[in-house]
């Protein structure tokens, strides 16, 4: 990582002034386990106003951990976070607990994967939104309720007035997710973080929620970071995609570039294993061999090398530095020469 340290700060500095959210050299290590595990190992990310970035990866890639670090949701005594996170000029790592409580919800807000777990089951959804509103703004109960009603209309919940008084378990999955989006947007955040918000939903509901998020993002000019394991979700929602593997971003660029001209062997592998279309029926899927990496026992060098068809000795010797293969398209691979022709 030594050679990248010299180029990174310059880029980050330039990007940081324009970016709404910038993450520099983020390293997250969980110390509570029998052996410390580095879940995120040197992530750099810049998010401009009104931009949507998708973090794409499988289990163990570090995508959710990255997201949660922005809101400092990890247990402080079991986690060690290094690096810098700036949102709208504010250094997130330096916030006091009181400032952090203000920051969450007002500047940056999050939508979770499982609404049943994120919403409090003993309060109605209306009560939870009103509580969030009154915490950040001096509103009376009636005003807060009016705002909550407007939010429910914005997320297209039918019969919103009646639904405000419903408990989470009385609502269907799609409805709950809309309620959670309303809760997340209640205090007009600048950045919305979404942690696999549609993974637990049925196909017909997923497409509705994704379109809703896209419309809301356009309307409100929100910046969004969207974590997903499904490439098609990234294609539908994102402007840029960052593919993560073993705690690092291995490929990043405009969604068009990454999906049409992938240059990292992992991204190429992911795209070709999709069982899409009837064209492939009757044959076998081109599968990536091996298993997802064991973060406690990473091999030296590129973490993808054990599974990579193009791995060479240079890959196993040291972690590959980022290589710019096209405008705005960066790949962490030592074998981009091999993938150029695919």
Partner 1 sequence: MTPLLEVRGLEKRFTVKKGLFGGVRSYVSAVDGLDFDLHEGETLGVVGESGCGKSTTARLLLHLMKPTAGSIRFAGHAVGSPNLPLKEFRRQIQMVFQDSYASLNPRLTVEESIAFGPMVHGTARREAVPRAHALLDRVGLHPARFAGRFTHELSGGQRQRVNIARALAFRPRVLVLDEAVSALDKSVEAQVINLLLDLKEEFSLTYIVISHDLEVVRFMSSRVLVMYLGRVAELAPTETLYTQSRHPYTTALLGSLLSMDPDRRTEAAPISGDPPNPIDPPAGCRFHTRCPYAEAVCSRSAPVLTVEGAHAVACHRHNAASGSSGASQTEAV
Partner 2 sequence: MMEATIPAIPVMAVAIRSPGYWKTVLLRFARDPLAVAAAAVVLLLILMAIFAPWLAPNDPLQGMTLRRLKPPGTEGYPLGTDELGRDMLSRLIYGARISLFMGIVPVFCALFIGAFIGITAGYAGGWLNTVLMRTIDVFFAFPSVLLAVAMAGALGPGIFNGMLALTLVFIPPIARVAESVTTSVRSLDYVEAARASGASAMLIIRKHVLGNVLGPIFVYAMSLIAVSMILASGLSFLGLGVKPPQPDWGLMLNTLRTALYTQPLLCALPGVMIFITSISFNLMTDGLRSAMDIKA
Residue 219 makes contact with partner 1 by CB under 8 A = no
Q: Does 76 help bind partner 1 (rule: CB under 8 A)?
A: no
Q: Is 269 near partner 1 (CB under 8 A)?
A: yes
Provide the total of helices (H) and of strands (E) in the chain, helices listed first. 14, 12
User: CB under 5 to 8 A by kind: which of partner 2, partner 1, none does 122 bind?
Assistant: none
b/e sequence 259-290, b meaning 16+ C-beta within 10 Å = bebbbbbbbbbbeeeeeeeeeeeeeeeeebee
The single residue among 205, 298, 318, 338 that binds partner 1, judged by CB under 8 A, is: 205
Using the structure block, give the residue that is written with the tokens 């290589």.
Answer: 323
Choose, by CB under 8 A, the member of 172, 218, 337, 342 that binds partner 1. 172
CB 60 to partner 2: min, Å: 13
Q: Is 34 in the site for partner 1 (CB under 8 A)?
A: no
Question: Among 38-46, 84-92, 132-140, 285-293, which window interacts with partner 2 (CB under 8 A)?
Answer: 285-293
- Residue 286 in the binding site for partner 1 (CB under 8 A): yes
CB of 215 to partner 1, least distance (A): 11
The two three-digit tokens of residue 208, written as one number? 């509705």
CB nearer to partner 1: pick between 130 and 164: 164
User: Given the complex with partner 1, which of 93 and 205 has the nearer CB atom?
Assistant: 205
Each as own residue / partner, the long-range contacts of residues 28-33 (CB below 8 Å, 24 or more positions apart, any chain) are 28/62, 28/65, 28/66, 28/69, 28/74, 28/79, 28/80, 28/81, 28/82, 28/247, 29/79, 29/80, 29/82, 30/74, 30/78, 30/79, 31/78, 31/79, 31/80, 32/75, 32/77, 32/78, 32/79, 33/296
Partner from partner 2, partner 1, none binding residue 259, C-beta < 5-8 Å depending on class: partner 1
Which of the ranges 18-26, 74-82, 187-195, 253-261 carries the binding residues for partner 1, by CB under 8 A? Answer: 253-261
Three-state SS annotation for 198-236: CCCCCHHHHHHHHHHHHHHHHHHCCEEEEEECCHHHHHH
Closer to partner 1 by CB, 93 or 207: give it: 207
Per partner kind, with CB cut-offs from 5 to 8 A, the member of partner 1, partner 2, none near residue 175 is: partner 1
Residue 286 binds to partner 2 (criterion: CB under 8 A): no
- Closest CB to partner 2 among 61 and 198? 61
| Alpha-carbon gap, residue 124 to 145, rounded angstroms | 12
- DSSP state string for 52-104: EEEEE--TTSSHHHHHHHHTT-S-TTTEEEEEEEEETTEEGGG--HHHHHHHH
Least separation in angstroms between CB 51 and partner 1: 15
By a kind-dependent CB cut-off of 5 to 8 A, residue 134 interacts, out of partner 1, partner 2, none, with none
Identified binder of partner 2 from the candidate list 306, 321, 323, 338, rule CB under 8 A: 306
Q: Which of residues 6-65 bind partner 2 (CB under 8 A)?
A: none
Binding of residue 294 to partner 2 (CB under 8 A): yes
CA-CA distance, 14 to 294, in Å (whole number)?
35
**Could you tell me the two tokens for 26?**
């983020």
Q: Pick the closer one to partner 2 by CB: 313 or 327.
A: 313
CA 207 – CA 68 distance, rounded (Å): 25
Nearest to 273, CA basis, from 290, 287, 292, 256: 287
Residues that bind partner 2 (CB under 8 A): 289-291, 294, 306
Residues that bind partner 1 (CB under 8 A): 58-59, 158, 172-175, 202-208, 210-211, 229-233, 235-236, 255-256, 259-260, 269-270, 273-278, 280-281, 284-289, 291-292, 307
């Amino acid at each position: 990582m030594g050679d990248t340290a010299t180029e990174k700060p310059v880029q980050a500095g330039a990007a940081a002034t324009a970016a709404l959210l910038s993450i520099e050299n983020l390293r997250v290590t969980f110390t509570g386990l029998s052996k410390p595990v580095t879940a995120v190992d040197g992530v750099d990310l810049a998010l401009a106003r009104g931009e949507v970035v998708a973090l794409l990866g499988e289990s163990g890639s570090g995508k959710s951990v990255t997201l949660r670090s922005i809101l400092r949701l990890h247990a402080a005594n079991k986690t060690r976070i290094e690096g810098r996170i700036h949102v709208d000029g504010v250094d997130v790592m330096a916030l006091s607990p009181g400032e952090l409580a203000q920051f969450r919800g007002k500047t940056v807000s999050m939508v979770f994967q499982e609404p049943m777990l994120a919403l409090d089951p003993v309060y109605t959804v209306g009560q939870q939104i009103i509580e969030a509103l009154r915490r950040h703004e001096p509103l009376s109960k009636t005003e807060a309720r009016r705002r909550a009603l407007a939010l429910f209309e914005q997320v297209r919940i039918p019969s919103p007035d009646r639904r405000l008084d419903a408990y989470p378990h009385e609502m269907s999955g799609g409805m709950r997710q809309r309620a959670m989006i309303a809760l997340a947007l209640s205090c007009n955040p600048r950045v919305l973080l979404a942690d696999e918000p549609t993974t637990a939903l049925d196909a017909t509901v997923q497409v509705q929620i994704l379109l809703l998020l896209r419309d809301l993002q356009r309307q409100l000019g929100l910046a969004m970071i969207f974590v997903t394991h499904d490439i098609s979700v990234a294609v539908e929602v994102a402007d840029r995609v960052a593919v993560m593997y073993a705690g690092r971003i291995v490929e990043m660029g405009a969604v068009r570039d990454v999906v049409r001209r992938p240059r990292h062997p992992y991204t190429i592998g992911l795209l070709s294993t999709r069982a899409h279309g009837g064209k492939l029926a009757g044959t076998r899927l081109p599968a990536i061999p091996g298993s997802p990496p064991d973060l406690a026992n990473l091999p030296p060098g590129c973490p993808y090398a054990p599974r990579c068809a193009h791995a060479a000795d240079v890959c196993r010797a040291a972690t590959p530095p980022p290589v710019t293969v096209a405008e705005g398209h960066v790949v962490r691979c030592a074998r981009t020469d091999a993938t150029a022709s695919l």
